[in-house]
Amino acid sequence: MRAVVSQGFIDLPQQNDPVKIADIAEKFIYKWQEKSPLIIPALACHSPYTCLPHTLASIKDIARKCGVIYNIHVSETKEEVAIVKERFGKRPVSYLKDIDVLDSLTLAVHCIWLDDSEIELLRENNVKVSHNPESNMKLAAGCAPVSRMIKQGITVSLGTDGCASNNDLDMFGEMGTAARLHKVIEMDPTVMDAKTVLRMATISGAKALGLENRIGSIEPGKYADIIIVDMNKPHLTPLYNPYSQLVYAASGPDVKTSIIGGSLVMHERKLLHVDVFSIMGEVKSIAESIAHNFRS
């Protein structure tokens, strides 16, 4: 699999040694940078209210020095905004601007509770955004102003967040949810059209990760990262508009072939390089251990 993998940071009492934190970040980058064309290291600070200012700034300095993506949850909840305003006298995006962590390699996740000035700050600093509609719905966090951000020229990609707040991590489902949710919120059936949402899940996702010159579209000179969707199915028949069909009707199981970097990794729904049932067995064993410990 191709992956951008982040070392995460959150300031718990036993983990807020600045020297140790910086050392962990640098060792992670140097361990993985340029070791494989498939694995790209990145750094992630959880959020402005769970990381101390020196952690946010120092991890960004390392990310900037190494030229890697810096992920951070921003304005996911009303409570987060209130906490940051109480501590620092500013809204989250303004605070992050003041400590110099906003630039073209910053990926701001969620971005739900933004005001107009914060949207403008994201645009001015070329910050990318990851929209996670199903997670936001499950946690009742709110709905990000995605169409406004896109109109302002901000690159908005599509994500799932983690399995703790999104059970299936299905990008096809995420596309359908994104396309429908904003129509309801804005009471406008024309916003977030299928082509826009598909772009968020493909080339905009690549831009958000700084990889638009390598992946995200099928073009000469790019890696051959391609999926083939079986459109010869009852729920995908008839086909009038491929964008609408992919966003509103298709799902993950409709992908029959996956190619990564020109190598065939799944064909006719069969994974070629891993033993799925063996992995499922391992996962069930881990889950039983977790459940046992929880009951204890």
pLDDT tens digits, residue range 227-279? 999 999 999 999 999 999 999 999 999 999 999 999 999 999 999 999 999 99
| Alpha helices (H) in the chain, listed in sequence order | 18-32, 53-66, 78-88, 92-98, 116-124, 133-138, 146-151, 171-186, 194-201, 203-208, 242-244, 276-295
b/e 234-271 (16+ beta carbons within 10 angstroms → b) = eebeeeeeeebbbbebbbeebbbbbbbeeeeebeeeee
Model pLDDT for residues 126-167, shown as the tens digit of each residue: 999 999 999 999 999 999 999 999 999 999 999 999 988 999
Q: Taking residues 172-191, what's their average pLDDT?
A: 97
Q: For residue 77, is pLDDT > 80? A: yes
Q: What is the pLDDT of residue 111?
A: 98
Domains of the chain: 3-221 (3.20.20.140), 224-296 (2.30.40.10)
Q: What is the pTM of this model?
A: 0.94
